[in-house]
Structures are given as C-alpha cells and as structure tokens.
C-alpha cells in the first residue's frame, strides 16, 4: 500500500488550512439517487464492491450508504460507534484502506450503483479519553495516529474546538436549547468550531477528496449540531455535484430552525421511523390511510426533502429517540419495508445490519479484530447469526424493485382498508399493493387501476407467482397472515 496515498487527505487538509480559495458555490446541487439506497452498515469495501456487482445492481438498488471511511479511534472491544469518532481524514479503517475504498467506488459506479458516504463534520473523537464504564479509550487511530484530548497532530488543536461553558461538563444537557445543540459536546465528543475558516476548509478538503474518488453523496452525521451555513461553507469546497442528506431528528415537530437545513440539502425523516414503530406496536394498519393518524400525529419534512427509513443503525438499538422495529421483528419488519417502499413519500433507504445482542456490539470480527467478510471463501455469510443482510430478503428486495418501477407516479389510488390490519392501495395504473397485517389468512377481491393481465408478485421471490387482474381491473387472491403482495407493470407473466 502506498503511504503517500494514505496521507493525501491529510495533505489536502493542511493545504486548505493555509489557503483561502474562493468558494465555488453555496449549494451542493446534487439530487437524490434514482431509486432505493441500502445502508451496508460496517461492511468491508471489497464486500460492498462485490455486492454492487452480484446483487444490488441486478435487483434495482440505486445507491449504497457506507460507514465512515476516515481514520477512527480504536476503542477496546471495538464497539460500532468507534467509527463515529474520527481521528484524521486518512481513508484507513477496518473496512479497508484508500486503495480498497477507491476500488469499491469505481466498481459500484461501473454497474450503476452510487456510493453515499457517512461523513462526520460536527466532532472528532472523545474529548477526555477517560474510562467510561467498560469502555477503554486507547488514544490511537486505525491508521496509527496517536492523539490527545482536543489535540489531533497536524490537523486540529484546542483552539479549533468549542468550549461551550453552558453546562457543567460541556456536554449537551437540554436538547431543546439550540445553543447547546450547536456548541456543546455530543456525548462527550470533541465539538469542532465549525464557524472557524480553518475547520471549514479542513473538512471541506476531506469532502472534496471523497468526491474526487467518485463519491456521489454525503450523509452528514449529527447535522443539527452544526449551523446550516457552516455545512454550506464546508460543501463549497467540493467542485463536483453531490447529493447531501443531513441527519436531523425533529422529534415530531418540524420547527423553523430545522427548516433552515433545507437550503443545504435533504433531511433524514425520523418522524416517519417513529410513527411506523408506534403504529405497528400500538395501533392498526388502518392508521396508514391518507390523512390518517400516521400522517397527522407528527409534523413531517416535505416529501421532496425527506429520506425515509424503517430503522437505522441508531434507532434499531433504541438510541436517540423512540425505538424502531428492526430485523428481529421478522415478517412484521418486512411489511413495514413494503409499505415504506411502496408509498410515494421521500427518498428510500433500506437497512442492512449485522446481528447484535447488546447496543454497543460491533460488527462480526475474527480473533485479530478484523471485520469478517460477507463474501467469504465458504460462501455468502448472510443470515447465519452474523451478517443479517435484510436487503437480500426476497420480500424487501422485491419491494425495492416495485419502488423502482412505480416511483415516477406520486399519487395513491384505490385506497382500501378493513378498518383494522388489512390495507390496499395502488400507484395509479403502474402498481398495486395488498398488505395483510392480521393474524389470520385473507381471502377477497380488490379493485385496482391496472390493465387486465397476469402479473407476477414482486414479493414472492425469483419465480413468478401469478396474480391475475380481470377485465374490471380487480384481483381475487388469498394471503397468509402477516404477508403482502405487490404487482406492477414491470413484471408480467410471459
């Protein structure tokens, strides 16, 4: 591996800190991927590349969100959140080095799958490096960097961080206080002074480096802890057009200061995630009706600015708000994904997890603490107690294909519910979905807007399970308990 390549992001950052180039733009200019995104959480870069070629492209996935690629703090036990404690902007993590990252981006791009990078711009690693319960902080990074509290060699010194003085220990205490959110430490992580031109240029050089390798989008972690104009300033050093989606949890209330982030890019829609979990645990599927409880119980980000998801790496562990349903909920989780992918609201992201028993557990690793491959010499390591690979589940992959076919139609047609746990709706003359969330089998006839013909159920796997639409546009079918069907004009029986 070429040491100079590893050091390039750091060199770019140092150059940026010494110059004041004119910012080329104030907006990212990129648009959301044209189809569903999958978050391959903690995957190795070589595995992501192969997955793009072997499964994602053939099954209609448009993009992959990957874990943070910058050098991160090594924490004893290797919890997942060490990836969210950057030490430098060298591309060296347990997922692979710079060469492996660049190779992944190129291979995915070659088959039409975009790479979206999870980037941390709000903070660096733990500010105090003290022991925290069972956690032991090493003050070492995955590329060999040694650092100290608020000191990152060749990158940042204490003057580059906030000392908020609004709370006793500098941590955020009041999550409704915007000043604390933006200047105090998020769970003791050293908070970058993003209003500083040096910080803006240094982070901007990192983002520009990623874009130069072919990255098409950024998921900005902890965005609501950074002023929108600071994010814009960082992005101004990226000459390529990139899509930007910002992590902003609204708590069900989309207040004015949150709306300011729309000028920067899209936003993560946690209200949707929370409503889905609440509905499936405590209410009925009938609440999903247009203008029903699901859509009126919370304030939502406008559809053209929202990215929706059933769960993400935080919420599936109960972090940061209401717990989401996740892969452990089995068939119910599949139905939630079907509804999310089939309904015309927001850009879509599917979670692909590793199995976890504790909320801090990191990805599957070997005795040397290397991340275990998904594509191993012994075959695909999915669904065997390590990598979950929900994106490969036939129901979810089929729902992604349905979404890809109907996403150009924004209207819902033929809404129907039994008033409890069975719903049906169409996407005009392009598709139709029936969800049986009840504990009993379903047998009946439903009106669609589809042309007569023999359609294949997208959710039944690779073989065509025929669903016939009669001359009146109706289907008559049976569904087992906790199951669904989805038919569209893109897959007709030959």
* C-alpha–C-alpha distance, residues 338 and 332, integer Å: 10
Q: Which domains does the chain have, with CATH numbers?
A: 3-406 (3.20.20.80), 413-488 (2.60.40.1180)
Cβ atoms of 286 and 239 within 8 Å: the answer is no
Q: Give the CA count within 13 Å in the CB-facing half-sphere of 489.
A: 16
Q: What is the pLDDT along the chain (494 residues), one digit of tens a residue?
A: 333 333 333 333 333 333 333 333 334 468 999 999 999 999 999 999 999 999 999 999 999 999 999 999 999 999 999 999 999 999 999 999 999 999 999 999 999 999 999 999 999 999 888 777 778 899 999 999 999 999 999 999 999 999 999 999 999 999 999 999 999 999 999 999 999 999 999 999 999 999 999 999 999 999 999 999 999 999 999 999 999 999 999 999 999 999 999 999 999 999 999 999 999 999 999 999 999 999 999 999 999 999 999 999 999 998 877 679 999 999 999 999 999 999 999 999 999 999 999 999 999 999 999 999 999 998 999 998 999 999 999 999 999 999 999 999 999 999 999 999 999 999 999 999 999 999 999 999 999 999 999 999 999 999 999 999 999 999 999 999 999 999 999 999 97
Token look-up 């893109």 returns 490
Token look-up 């070492």 returns 140
Give me 170's structure tokens: 């500098």
Catalytic-residue membership of 247: yes
Token look-up 């405590």 returns 282
Selected catalytic residue, list 188, 247, 266, 278: 247
Cβ atoms of 143 and 90 within 8 Å: the answer is yes
Q: Give the CA count within 13 Å in the CB-facing half-sphere of 353.
A: 21
Give me 368's structure tokens: 């040397």
* C-alpha–C-alpha distance, residues 351 and 353, integer Å: 6
* C-alpha–C-alpha distance, residues 116 and 460, integer Å: 29
Long-range contacts, stretch 356-359, CB < 8 angstroms, 24+ apart = 356/80, 356/317, 359/317, 359/318, 359/319
Token look-up 């729309």 returns 262
Give pTM, 2 decimals. Answer: 0.93
* C-alpha–C-alpha distance, residues 93 and 51, integer Å: 19
* C-alpha–C-alpha distance, residues 272 and 344, integer Å: 13
Selected catalytic residue, list 118, 221, 230, 314: 221
**Is 194 exposed, middle or buried, given 0-12, 13-18 or 19+ CB atoms closer than 10 A?**
buried
* C-alpha–C-alpha distance, residues 159 and 140, integer Å: 21
Q: Report the DSSP beta bridge partners of residue 127.
A: none
pLDDT at res. 29: 65
CA angle 125/319/227 to nearest 5° reads 55
* C-alpha–C-alpha distance, residues 291 and 23, integer Å: 43
Give the residue among 177, 172, 165 at the shortest CA–CA distance from 187. Answer: 172
């Amino acid at each position: 591996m070429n040491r100079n390549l590893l050091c390039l992001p750091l060199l770019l950052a140092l150059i940026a800190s010494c110059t004041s180039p004119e910012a080329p733009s104030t907006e990212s200019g990129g648009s959301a991927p044209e189809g569903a995104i999958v978050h391959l959480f903690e995957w190795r870069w070589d595995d992501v590349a192969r997955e793009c070629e072997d499964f994602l492209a053939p099954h209609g996935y448009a993009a992959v969100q990957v874990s943070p690629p910058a050098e991160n703090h090594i924490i004893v036990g290797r919890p997942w959140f060490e990836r969210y404690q950057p030490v430098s902007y060298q591309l060296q993590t347990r997922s692979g080095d710079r060469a492996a990252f660049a190779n992944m981006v190129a291979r995915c791009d070659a088959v039409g799958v975009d790479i979206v990078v999870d980037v941390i711009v709000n903070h660096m690693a733990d500010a105090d490096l003290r022991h925290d319960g069972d956690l032991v902080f090493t003050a070492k990074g995955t590329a060999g960097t040694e650092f100290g509290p608020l000191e990152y060699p060749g990158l940042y010194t204490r003057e580059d961080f906030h000392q908020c003085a609004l709370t006793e220990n500098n941590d955020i205490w009041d999550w409704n206080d915007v000043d604390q959110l933006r200047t105090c430490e998020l769970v003791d992580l050293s908070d970058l002074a993003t209003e500083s031109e040096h910080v803006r240029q240094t982070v901007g050089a990192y983002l520009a480096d990623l874009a130069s390798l072919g990255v098409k989008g950024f998921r900005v972690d902890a965005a609501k802890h950074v002023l929108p104009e600071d994010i814009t300033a960082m992005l101004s050093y990226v000459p390529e057009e990139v899509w930007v989606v910002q992590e902003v949890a609204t708590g069900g209330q989309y207040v004015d200061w949150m709306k300011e982030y729309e000028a920067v890019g899209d936003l993560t829609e946690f209200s949707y995630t929370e409503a889905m979990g609440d509905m499936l645990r405590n209410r009925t599927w009938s609440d999903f009706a247009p203008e029903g409880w699901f859509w009126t119980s919370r304030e939502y980000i406008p559809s053209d600015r929202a990215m929706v998801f059933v769960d993400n790496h935080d919420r599936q562990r109960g972090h940061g708000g209401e717990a989401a349903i996740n892969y452990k909920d089995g068939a119910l989780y599949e139905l939630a994904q079907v509804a999310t992918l089939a309904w015309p609201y927001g850009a879509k992201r599917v979670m692909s997890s590793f199995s976890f028993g504790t909320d801090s557990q990191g990805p599957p690793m070997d005795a040397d603490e290397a991340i275990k491959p998904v594509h191993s010499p012994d075959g695909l390591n999915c669904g065997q107690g390590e990598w979950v690979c929900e994106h490969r589940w036939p129901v979810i992959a089929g729902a992604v294909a349905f979404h890809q076919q109907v996403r150009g139609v924004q209207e819902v047609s033929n809404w129907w519910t039994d008033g409890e746990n069975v719903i049906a709706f169409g996407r005009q003359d392009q598709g139709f979905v029936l969800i049986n969330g009840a504990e009993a089998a379903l047998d009946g006839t439903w009106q669609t807007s589809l042309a007569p013909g023999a359609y294949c159920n997208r959710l039944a796997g690779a073989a065509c399970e025929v669903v016939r639409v009669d001359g009146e546009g109706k289907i008559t079918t049976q569904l087992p308990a906790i199951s669904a069907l989805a038919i569209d004009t893109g897959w007709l029986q030959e």
